[in-house]
Amino acid sequence: MTWEEARDAAGPGSVAILPVGAIEAHGPHLPLDTDVIIAQAMARSGAVRLQARGSRVAVLPPLAYTVAAFARSFPGTVSLRPETVTATVLDIGGSLTRHGFGVLAIANAHLDPAHLSSLEAAVNVVRRDLGLAVAFPNLAAKPWALRLGEEFKSGACHAGQFETSIVLAERPELVRDEIRAGLAPNPASLSRAIRDGKRSFEEAGGPQAYFGFPAQATAEEGRETVEILGTILDEAVQAELSRERAR
């Protein structure tokens, strides 16, 4: 977009979608920017639905760097301090508010607990201090998590069937498919390990930085999942707009 096109995209009820991912290890078969790929797919799918409703939508460049402490020992992982992430999202919200966007929608695909806390902190400040509506469907929580398949609900879903399927659908050339096909299942629940106080993939039972069943992934499942993610983002935006109208 040019600045004039961005100006024309803003206004009451307009939506700016921020894809949020991470640069971190995703097994021996997926690229470091897997979460970014997933977040951009979610943003695109959500944008299509919002535009079909008549909303003006701008999809922002992704926020690729964030807190990625669980993968910190794996080469290639880049992790920021939580306060840096919160400040960055707050500054993005400030710019959007200044230029007249109505809603910030966060299409987040990274589920590190410290990262999620950083986003929640930013969302609260943006709403309170800037008066900007924010739609942030936290995929790790109900009701959204219940719609994303059995592997996802089990918590064994980092670089597993769920994420690998989406990358197969979106960027198949980036999947090391021969490696993927030979990976043994790893049913260790990352979410349960987090609740038990584990602080790294290794402690959680993922010495190769993957959890779940990557060998079972398919591009077809990935395309279906992207549609679900887009629907979730659309519904979160509609709920936020309803709250705004009720105020």
Tokens of 123: 């969302």
Q: Which residues contact 141 (CB under 8 A, 6 or more apart)?
A: none
Instruction: Please check the confidence at residue 247 and state whether its pLDDT lies above 80.
Output: no
HSE at residue 201, side-chain half, CA atoms within 13 A, is 26
Report the C-alpha gap between 114 and 75 in whole angstroms: 20
pLDDT in tens, 121-162: 999 999 999 999 999 999 999 899 999 999 999 999 999 999
- On whether the pTM is more than 0.85, the answer is yes
> Which pLDDT band holds residue 242 (cuts at 50, 70, 90)?
confident
Q: How confident is the model at residue 244 (pLDDT cuts 50, 70, 90)?
A: confident
CA dihedral 38, 40, 44, 50 (to 10 degrees): 100
State the pLDDT confidence band at 88, using cuts at 50, 70 and 90: very high
Q: For 48-62, what is the mean pLDDT?
A: 96
Identify any residues that bridge with 106 across adjacent strands, giving them in sequence order.
18
CATH superfamily of 3-239: Creatininase (3.40.50.10310)
The average pLDDT across 222-243 equals 96
